Structure 1
Amino acid sequence: MCVDSGARAWVESNTITAALSYLTPEDKEAIKTSLLSGGLAGPLCWYTAQLEQGNINEDASANLQNFPLRHENSRAHSFIACAKDCIALPAFGDSSHGKYAKGPVTRKEIEADHWGPMSHAVYRNERDVAGVVGNAVNASKECCVLL
């Protein structure tokens, strides 16, 4: 989540920055405890499984009816794309929506990184409520908000 080779230089320089505005003291302490007790093994499991493709057989055997976003659906979608996310690129969301979303897709791009759901929680929650209420009134269908 940084420039190539930037992480090593940043860590070795013992850089300390101010806490992010959306990170509560309780969340910061929970993250700190997790990292100091178990290192990055747990937090990185998601990425490890994806990179090593350890999930392919299980995904192939999954009942897609239990995963409504993994097959075509006609529900309205509100896609909030995080423009500065270098991991979940907005183009990936655009591609998924083009393939699976057969209902209307409203796309809004915001200046957020990979942690957009946390840094822009108020905006996201307002969109969630507006989408669900507006969609229920206008189309009687469920609205999915995807980041």
Structure 2
Amino acid sequence: MNESLISEYKDTITSRGLTYHYLSLPAVGDKPTLLFVHGFPSTSYDWYHQINYFSERGFGVVAPDMLGYGGTSKPTDASSFLRTAIAQDLLDILDAEKVQKVVAVGHDWGSTVISFLSIKHSDRFLGFAWATVPYDVPAGPFPGIDIILELQTKTYGRPLLGYWKFFEQERAPLIIEKNLESFISVLYSDDPDDWLTLMNQPGEIQAFVESGKTTKRARYLTKDHHSHLLASLRKGGLTSPLNWYQAVLKGVNDHIMDEIPEENRLIRKPAFFAVAKKDHVCIYEYAVPQMEKYAKGGLKMVEFQGGHWVQLEEPETFNRELEGWIRDTLQQSC
């Protein structure tokens, strides 16, 4: 990230008493503001290509360290990770910045948060952009990870979320913290196909990390970015970040859709979706039909040939396509 932007970070306390650390850059003229929402196990730094690109072109930027990461609060209680509450946290940040014309852009768990911004607060946004992880909401109480893995195997011929069996363990944070470089090498592996084993199959990532092995680090993960990741997670630990998973496993989000009619779950604003052909967790075969089912306000879908981290792996294409969608689809609103 451009070092001059570090001084533009600030802190705010949300309506539920949590501190969020975030980057805020004002828009120029009538340009909208982009709200960048990262996922696991990152910080707002994961958006540095987008922050540099869009701010240089006059777009406003709000990029928070999400709950559990960086300079933001790190609750150890999974109940703090209720998705609707986190969505409200982001609105509190936008209110603190007095930002009105906003496009929400999410990746990984950040995508699930903007899904709830779309459901509950669509009127606050010009449009929504999902990167690799599609629009997705709980269909009901979480049935348990073993049942999910069994259903995935029947549907897709293999489990997809095998790594959740590791993340659900009470000792997972300590194991990861002791073998952090090994863990990061898996999540940011140079070969997306490493995930077919290490992430999809139960037991594989735990055995790999506990042994201290490493994959070849992704070429898109620069030395500075890699150092930032390690330093941030070493300082804050993994207990709070893993609560993004624990909140699902413990049923924190089981009933948040109970009072929302099916017709109100549709995406009514324009939608952008960057789908990765080699994301072996958020797979193409699931993601594309999901977006086509719910996106009723217009959908632009762009295919990428790489893995999960499209905004890092192919930033030029991602930025160009996202900017083009904003210009062509949202220009009347902007």
State the match for 2:283 in structure 1.
89
Distance 1:53 1:92 in 2: 23
Closer, same or farther: CA 21–58 of 1 in aligned 2, 3 Å: same
1:41 aligns with 2:239: yes
State the match for 1:24 in structure 2.
222
Checking the alignment, whether the CA contact within 8 Å between 1:72 and 1:99 is kept in structure 2 is: no
Distance 1:34 1:59 in 2: 33
State the match for 1:130 in structure 2.
324
Checking the alignment, whether the CA contact within 8 Å between 1:71 and 1:100 is kept in structure 2 is: yes
In the TM superposition, what is the alpha-carbon distance from 1:74 to its structure 2 partner?
4.9
Distance 1:53 1:85 in 2: 26
Within 5 Å, give how 1:59-138 maps onto structure 2. 60=258, 70-75=265-270, 77-136=271-330
Closer, same or farther: CA 114–50 of 1 in aligned 2, 3 Å: farther
TM-score normalised by structure 1 residue count = 0.66
1:7 aligns with 2:205: yes
State the match for 1:65 in structure 2.
none
Q: Tell me, which stretches of 5 or more residues in structure 1 are unaligned?
A: 63-67, 143-147
Cα distance per residue 1:89-134 (max 9 Å; x no partner): 2344334323321133232321222222322222111111111112
Query: Where does structure 1 differ by over 6 angstroms across 4 or more consecutive aligned residues?
Result: none
Aligned CA RMSD, in angstroms, stands at 3.1
Closer, same or farther: CA 60–21 of 1 in aligned 2, 3 Å: farther
Higher relative contact order (CA 8 A, sep 6+): 1
- Give the aligned residue type for 1:52: K
Distance 1:91 1:36 in 2: 36
In the TM superposition, what is the alpha-carbon distance from 1:38 to its structure 2 partner?
4.6
In the TM superposition, what is the alpha-carbon distance from 1:14 to its structure 2 partner?
3.2
Among 42, 50, 55, the residue aligned to 2:253? 55
Closer, same or farther: CA 39–18 of 1 in aligned 2, 3 Å: same
Q: Which moved more, 1:91-100 or 1:123-132?
A: 91-100
Distance 1:51 1:90 in 2: 24
Checking the alignment, whether the CA contact within 8 Å between 1:74 and 1:103 is kept in structure 2 is: yes
SS in structure 2 at match of 1:49: helix
State the match for 1:145 in structure 2.
none
Distance 2:316 2:234 in 1: 30
Checking the alignment, whether the CA contact within 8 Å between 2:277 and 2:305 is kept in structure 1 is: yes
